[in-house]
Amino acid sequence: MEKKDVIESLKENFSGKIQNILIQFGDEIVLIESRALLDIAKFLKEDPYNFVMLLDLTCVDYPQKEMRFEMVYHFYSLIHNIRLRFKACLPSENPAINSLTSLWKNANWLEREVFDMFGVKFDGHPDLRRLFMYDGFEGYPLRKDYPLRKKQPRLRLRK
């Protein structure tokens, strides 16, 4: 099986949910509707494709766009030695997407990182809370509009 076979199968099974397929630096990027992420991920994880690894997920902030946040997912099939990249766009107001923690356990920490740094909420996440910043931290430091010299509330020292 080759990457083009997987992409053709995705086009057949999710025709209305795939917005575009781009090629950048020799890699295919599948742009999907954010609501379709969980269904597409389940489809890819099962036989015959066996994308058993979620390599990474992250977020990119494009403040000038209406759909400001772009979620990026990297999946890998060990059996077929195929790597696929998916992107889903989210609005600037209340960005949210389904969690992949039900399919891949490592999504837990990756989604918490994106939540902590960008403020994207993951529906169905079992423990969505800050990972790097403390609980009283205000804002999301990797957003492009985060003030460079923003003062944060001070924490009380523990005795």
| Residue 155 scores a pLDDT above 80 | no
Q: Within 75-122, where are the H helices?
A: 107-118
Return all residues near 92 (Cβ < 8 A) that are at least 6 apart: 63, 66, 67, 68, 69
Mean pLDDT of 75-98: 96
Domain edges within the chain = 3-123
16-60 residue pLDDT tens: 999 999 988 888 999 999 999 999 999 999 999 999 999 999 999
| Residue 159 scores a pLDDT above 80 | no
The whole-chain average pLDDT of the chain stands at: 94
SS3 44: helix
Structure tokens at 96: 């949210």
126-142 residue pLDDT tens: 999 999 998 888 999 99
pLDDT of residue 42: 97
**Amino acid identity of 135?**
D
Q: Please give the CATH number for the structural domain made up of 3-123.
A: 3.30.460.80
Angle of helix 37-45 relative to helix 3-13, nearest 10 degrees, comes to 130
